[in-house]
Amino acid sequence: MQLGAFSVSLAVKDLQASLEFYRKFGFTVFGGNSKNWAILKNGDHIIGLFQGMFDKNILTFNPGWDQNAQNVDAFTDVRELQKQLKADGVAMLTEADETTAGPASFMVADPDGNTILVDQHR
């Protein structure tokens, strides 16, 4: 199962304070809008900081991307990943429309209630 790029998406109270904190760990801004979200990178490690966008932290996988948000040639489509997980008995919180192609996402929760987002951008 190819899940693509991995990051942790953190729900933060103060984007600027969080940016300052993670810069001390060597993270630099890789993307975002500087208003309420930023993507930080340190080597292959990626953290998304999201202020007011969701209420808890999320593990995020991006099929079709590498750790530099660059397209990869061969990847498993999000709908195929969803089908495989459903066949293995994983309950979906949200689902990708399996009749479509291109960008889509689904969400699941692990046994401890941690949210996992599989978010395909292409």
Q: Give the up-direction half-sphere exposure of residue 94: CA atoms within 13 A in the CB hemisphere.
A: 11
pTM beyond cutoff 0.75: yes
Q: Which of 15, 23, 24 is nearest to 49 (CA)?
A: 15
pLDDT at 34: 77
Helices (H) and strands (E) counted in the chain, each on its own, are: 2, 8
Q: How far apart are CA 61 and CA 5, in angstroms?
A: 5
Beta partners for 10?
Answer: 49
pLDDT tens track, the chain, 122 positions: 889 999 999 999 999 999 999 999 999 999 999 799 999 999 999 999 999 999 999 999 999 999 999 999 999 999 999 999 999 999 999 999 999 999 999 999 999 899 999 999 99
Q: How far apart are CA 24 and CA 18, in angstroms?
A: 10
pLDDT at 1: 83
CA 94 to chain centre: 14
Phi, psi of 14 (to 5 degrees): -140, 105
Question: Domains plus CATH for the chain?
Answer: 5-120 (3.10.180.10)
pLDDT at 74: 92
